[in-house]
């Protein structure tokens, strides 16, 4: 952003008056701060989502199925969340907010990104194949509803098999028990 501002003489959008651009920048900054403050209300959601996952990871780690470092991180995060939770009942005396919920969410997002991208790829591929089959049925003269029902019933088993095979194949990776 600094390089763009320097190259354009201090303005992001040269066609917009400087006063309007600065006003919009201030409003955008206020919006982002308020969005982050809104996240403070999501602290209990973070606790509710992460405690079961971290508890399961800790159990796997204690059983020897996870690396020692991953077990330690799971135990530390679990302890931190459980220690924090009693202080965040309405009216909250302490917030995870900017230093808690957001980083925990980012860590979880980065860790799960590869798996989510693989699953999105599978879903898109299944959707393309299903739509192609429905279009083939439409070309044969079926109505849209009939073609959708026929295509869906014919593709259900392969879609479920693909999804289940992927889930079972990625389970060891997700649990960290790959060699």
Summarize pLDDT for 70-126 with one digit per residue, the tens.
888 889 888 888 887 777 665 555 555 555 666 666 666 666 666 677 778 888 888
Rounded alpha-carbon distances, angstroms, from residue 39 to 21, 26, 36, 47? 27, 20, 5, 13
Of the ranges 16-20, 43-47, 102-106, 155-159, the best mean pLDDT one? 155-159
Rounded alpha-carbon distances, angstroms, from residue 62 to 35, 56, 58, 69, 128? 38, 10, 6, 11, 43
User: What rounded mean pLDDT belongs to the chain?
Assistant: 76
Distance CA(8)–CA(158), nearest Å, equals 55
Confidence of residue 7 (pLDDT cuts 50, 70, 90): low
Structure tokens at 172: 């060891």
Structure tokens at 111: 């860790």
179 DSSP 8-state letter:
-
Contacts of 94 (CB under 8 A, 6+ apart): 84, 87, 88
pLDDT higher for 178 or 158?
158
Nearest-5° Cα angle at 97, 56 to 62: 15
Summarize pLDDT for 144-158 with one digit per residue, the tens.
999 999 999 999 998
Distance CA(124)–CA(4), nearest Å, equals 36
Structure tokens at 67: 């690396």
Confidence of residue 171 (pLDDT cuts 50, 70, 90): confident
Record the pTM: 0.40
Structure tokens at 50: 């992460």
The total of other beta-carbon atoms located within 10 Å of residue 66's CB is 20
């Amino acid at each position: 952003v600094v390089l763009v501002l320097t190259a354009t003489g201090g303005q992001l959008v040269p066609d917009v008056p400087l006063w309007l651009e600065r006003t919009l920048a201030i409003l955008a900054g206020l919006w982002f701060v308020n969005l982050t403050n809104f996240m403070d209300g999501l602290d209990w959601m973070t606790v509710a989502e992460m405690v079961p996952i971290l508890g399961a990871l800790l159990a796997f780690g204690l059983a020897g199925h996870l690396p020692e470092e991953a077990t330690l991180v799971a135990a530390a995060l679990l302890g931190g969340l459980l220690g924090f939770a009693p202080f965040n009942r309405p009216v909250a005396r302490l917030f995870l907010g900017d230093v808690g919920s957001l980083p925990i969410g980012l860590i979880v997002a980065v860790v799960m990104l590869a798996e989510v991208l693989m699953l999105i790829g599978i879903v898109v591929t299944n959707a393309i194949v299903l739509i192609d089959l429905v279009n083939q049925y439409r070309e044969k003269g079926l109505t849209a509803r009939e073609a959708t029902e026929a295509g869906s019933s014919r593709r259900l088993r392969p879609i479920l098999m693909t999804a289940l095979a992927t889930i079972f194949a990625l389970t060891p990776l997700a649990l960290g028990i790959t060699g």
